[in-house]
Amino acid sequence: MARHVIAPVDELPPGTRKFLTIDERPIAIFNINGEFFGLLNRCPHQGAALCEGPLIGLAQSSDPGEIEYTRLGEILRCPWHGWEFDIRTGQSYCDPKKFRTRAYPVNVEPGASVVKGPYVAETLAVSVESDYVVVDL
Amino acid sequence: MNVQFRDRPEPASPASVKTAIADCDIHPARATKDELYPFLAGRWHAHLETYGVHAYQGMMEGPPYPKTQPNASRRDAWPPEGGQQGSSLSFMQKQHLDPNHVALGVLNPLGATGQGMRNHDLSAALATAINDWQIEKWTSKDSRLKASVVVANEDGMAAAAEIRRRAGDRNFVQVLLLSRNVEPLGQRRYWPIYQAAEEAGLPVGVHAFGFGGNPITASGWPSYYIEEMVGHSQCQQTALASLVLEGVFERHPKLKMIMIEAGFGWAPSLSWRLDKVFEKLHGEVPHLKRKPSEYIRDHIFWTTQPMEDPERRDHLFDVIDWIGWDKLLFATDYPHWDYDEPSRVLPAGVSDANREAFYLTNALKLYGLA
């Protein structure tokens, strides 16, 4: 696994994202409240530049009329068709083959407890080393 | 290390189909609010600035339902020079026409084009202006692009006059109507439109949306955008049943129509229902000489965006087999958010002949460009 130094941390303050190409692969690195995440910049649905989409929260409902909006800034929404992905895991939140309103558990933790769709965006491990953002690829 | 940075992300570069395609639903936009003014008489500048537009329904400037993306458009479709998505020819060429090998792009202007306005003189003036604007800004600059004749849809005589003005002008390949009008589209106030279109040899496209003042559903205004998205097919079914039952196709045997952006999976079931009741009630509509399904199969074409996406592709193919592979026209809906990426939209298992018809030749034939 090759390590690529992306940028000094100062150049990627919280709330920003950086687009780059590594080994001809389009990548985006996000700083969300001091945590860094990397995603392949291509939506597994129809190929849009996924990482150009807005970061939103997760609207969930345990019962009709009960809506919770959690994990603000941790869900990436595709700039074309609005598919939502967990920026921590790349896991899709929707399954277009059975597209319907679904109830999710409130207070979902990232990863295993999330209802998984069939598509998973490619995520990259990102770490901070001596004030540099480094991506493992 | 082979890391390259870019400040502003490049637009998505699609894998794309490798052969030429027709895109039968592209939405050109105005970069500024007054972009139509050079094509409007001074009398209408003053009118618009003093009185504005009086539409059959509110929310003409802002959509009646909140959209999922800004201007209901792809977030990567903002032109670099500014202006709304779809307002820059050079960016449209770079982002869509060139990489996707679009050989024919049919323009369908939406929003304050003159359709759905109570002042019919203003409606006609705006429609003429938007047609002149399509030539000036789009079709004269890129021969791949063809325009739709936008008409004052609620004023059949004015609409027919505009169609006759454009007849024979190969900048135009169809007449454009919207699905939500004051009355169902087969009603006789719209008949002069079909007469003129048939004479001009232009098919009539019926695009989802419109400003006729009626709710998107048959029982009122729903709560959510998602209901509007599926409501377009209900609306289109009403339009199609009306066109058939009022005898538009009996009266105009050469007329072709295109159902744009409302799906097509419902076509068989609507036809079956119509045929079933027609067996019992044909005495009410004795002007019809054939079964409703026969008019639909002979006269109606369908654009593909949005395509229904059943779990089993066999089900999709069954529907298309009923409609006919020669009746589908590929469309992306660029630059709107529900855009279909050409290389991803058609499931595997389609013959080369049907594939070529789907992506290109059906459209070339229908629009007389083959």
* In the predicted structure, residue B169 carries a pLDDT above the cut 50: yes
pLDDT of residue B5: 59
Which residue's structure tokens are 């087969």?
B186
Query: Quick check: B108 and A84 in contact, CB under 8 A?
Result: no
| Token duo for residue A17 | 């994202």
Task: Answer yes or no: are the C-beta atoms of B204 and B255 closer than 8 Å.
Answer: yes
B3–A79 CB contact, under 8 Å? no
Tell whether B15 is within 8 A of chain A (Cβ). Answer: yes
Question: What is the pLDDT at residue B270?
Answer: 98
Interface residue A10 vs chain B (CB under 8 A): no
- For chain B, say whether A96 makes contact (Cβ under 8 Å): yes
Of the candidate ranges A124-128, B38-42, B121-125, B336-340, the one whose mean pLDDT is the lowest: A124-128
* Residue A5 sits at the chain B interface (C-beta within 8 Å): yes
A33-42, A112-121, B182-191: which range is least confident on average? A112-121
In chain B, where does DSSP find H-type helix?
Answer: 42-50, 89-92, 120-134, 156-166, 191-200, 225-245, 248-251, 267-281, 292-299, 313-323, 352-356, 362-366
Contact A5 B340 (CB under 8 A): no
Q: How far apart are CA B92 and CA B333, in angstroms?
A: 12
pLDDT in tens, B270-304: 999 999 999 999 999 999 999 999 999 999 999 99
Which of A114-118, B29-33, B179-183, B309-313 is predicted with the least confidence, judged by mean pLDDT? Answer: A114-118
pLDDT computed for residue A32 by the predictor: 87
Cα atoms in the Cβ-side hemisphere of radius 13 Å centred on A81: 23
Ramachandran angles phi, psi of B167, nearest 5°? -60, 135
Report CA-CA distances (Å) from B176 to A116, B107, B193, B197: 42, 10, 10, 10
Q: Which residue of A has its CA nearest to B14?
A: A47
What pLDDT is stored for residue B272 in this prediction?
A: 98
B223 at interface of A, judged by CB pairs closer than 8 A: no
Mean pLDDT of A72-82: 91
- The pLDDT value given to residue A115: 45
Q: Of A80-84, A117-121, A133-137, B35-39, which range is least confident?
A: A117-121
Q: What are phi and psi of A47, to 5 degrees?
A: 95, 10
Classified as helix, coil or strand, B23 is strand
| pLDDT at res. B260 | 98
Average pLDDT, chain B: 94
The residue that leads in pLDDT, A128 or B90, is B90
Whether the CB of A82 is below 8 Å from some CB of chain B: the reply is yes
**B317-329 tens-digit pLDDT:** 999 999 999 999 9
Size of interface A-B (CB pairs under 8 A): 71
Higher pLDDT, B74 or A136: B74
At A133 the three-state DSSP class reads: strand
User: Residue written as tokens 């003042």?
Assistant: B213
Q: Which of A22, A79, A98 is facing B74, going by the closest CB pair? A: A79
DSSP string for A22-89 = ETTEEEEEEEETTEEEEEESS-TTT---GGGSPEEEEEEEEETTEEEEEEEEEEEE-TTT--EEETTT
- The average pLDDT across B60-89 equals 90
Partners of residue B338 in chain A, C-beta under 8 Å:
80-81
- A82-94 pLDDT, tens per residue? 999 888 888 887 7
A17-54 pLDDT tens trace? 989 888 888 888 888 888 888 888 888 888 899 889 99
Residue B229 pLDDT class (50, 70, 90 cuts): very high
For tokens 């006919």, the residue is: B324
